[in-house]
Amino acid sequence: MNERAIKKKKWFKRKKVLIPLTLIIILVAGRIYLPYYVRDELNKTLADIPGYYGHIDDVGISLYRGAYQLNGLYLDKVDSKTQTPFLNFPPKTDISIQWGGALLDGRVVSEIEMQHPSISYTFEDHVAADGSLDEPSADVWYAVLTDIVPLQINRFETIDGEFTFTGLYAEPNIDLYLSNVNALATNLQNAEQSSLALPSTLKATATTIGNGNLDLNGKLDLIKEIPDMNLDMTIKNADITALNDLTLHYAGIDFEEGKFELASELAIADGYMKGYFKPLMTDTKIVDKWSDEDTNIFKIAWESFVGLFKFVLKNQGTDTLATNIPIEGSVENSEIGIWSSVFNIFENGWFNAFDSNVDDTIGFNDAITEKNDSAEARKEARRLRREERRIERVTNRAQRRNSNDNPDDNIDLEYEIEQIKSDT
């Protein structure tokens, strides 16, 4: 073998080693750089949200399971009046391909798991001076979510989350919160191809203000523009004194002791809502702030009225003051049954004591039925208005003609009215 052939053979040997080694180096370098690239791109997305600023500290990539983790994600209003970020997800948000049934059926969807997420909503930060919502459009939020999670979200879970609502407009400030929020929503995109009207499920528990226990269960269809849903919710054993900031601001009532509980059912079908809220106050005692120097007659009269109202209308057997507040109508324009709520206070106090469990009186089919009935009622109302207008026109015409001296021009008004009714 000549010298040239020997060199060529050595070159091919080195080539067999160099090419795979180069590819490995490129892949390793790309793998090392990928988290920084993803982090920088997502931070650009957060920076482009109008009126907000945000940041992600770190991104972790798990190629073997098709996932990445967002560490230290926060988002806040540019002109926030508090030091607490609007969204704060410090430990980890895991976004991954959902393995299992959906993937086996040929649908690639994602799942999200959030550990210790925190949402702090300060009323003044999100509402303009005229009372309108000062937020980017839904299209902007959807674009941000699509950039962060490219695949459709089919499963969503929060572990030990927290939600806080603060109102600085009140004196004292209103501060409501939920802690230990654990929620699981499944089949959000109906990746399991269920034929049910409400294919998605939602379960959530939390600790409320006053150390109460919140329990939420429901069925959903989030694929529609206005989601359909059927939800049951209860709050039990909350210390009512934790609501004093709220009750002082809106009702001038300060509780010394007692329990607050709430039960609710809510169904929405094609934008039509039907449900109720059933608040209960048990073993309550109102703080007596009177003193010998207190000469505010209006304050004394109001507190006396509240005390008498509570004594007369509470159920003496259970020491509970409660009502059932019905709510019904379109999502954009629902109505609260005021008189039903008042009547239900008397029912609880004098006839049948309410409890803190859901009544199982509202279902998804009820919302569908009420919507259809409401549509028929609106159709009938329109028919009656058309009929009234036609009758009014023929009546005016008959009055003009029948006042003439020529009887041939007279109109038989009763016959014309019967014809109109038969036509409409």
The percentage of the chain sitting over the pLDDT mark of 90, rounded to a whole number, equals 15
Q: Does position 381 have pLDDT exceeding 50, yes or no?
A: yes
168-186 pLDDT, tens digit each: 777 778 888 999 999 999 9
The average pLDDT across 334-359 equals 68
Query: Domain coordinates of the chain in residue numbers?
Result: 45-193, 387-423
Bond before 172 cis per omega within 30 degrees: yes
Q: Does position 292 have pLDDT exceeding 50, yes or no?
A: no
CB 327 within 8 A of CB 276: yes
Any idea which of 2-11, 121-130, 223-232 has the lowest mean pLDDT?
2-11
Q: Does position 311 have pLDDT exceeding 60, yes or no?
A: no
Determine the Cα–Cα distance for residues 91 and 29; give it in Å rounded to an integer.
Answer: 26
Query: Who has greater pLDDT, 248 or 101?
Result: 248
Query: What residues pair up with 330 in beta bridges, in sequence order?
Result: 272
pLDDT at 136: 79
323-336 pLDDT, tens digit each: 888 888 887 776 77
Structure tokens at 379: 């159709």
pLDDT at 310: 58
Determine the Cα–Cα distance for residues 84 and 78; give it in Å rounded to an integer.
Answer: 12
Query: Who has greater pLDDT, 412 or 209?
Result: 209
pLDDT at 215: 96
395-412 pLDDT, tens digit each: 777 776 666 666 656 667
12-53 pLDDT, tens digit each: 566 666 667 777 777 677 677 788 888 888 899 888 888 888
Determine the Cα–Cα distance for residues 60 and 69; give it in Å rounded to an integer.
Answer: 5
Structure tokens at 1: 């073998």
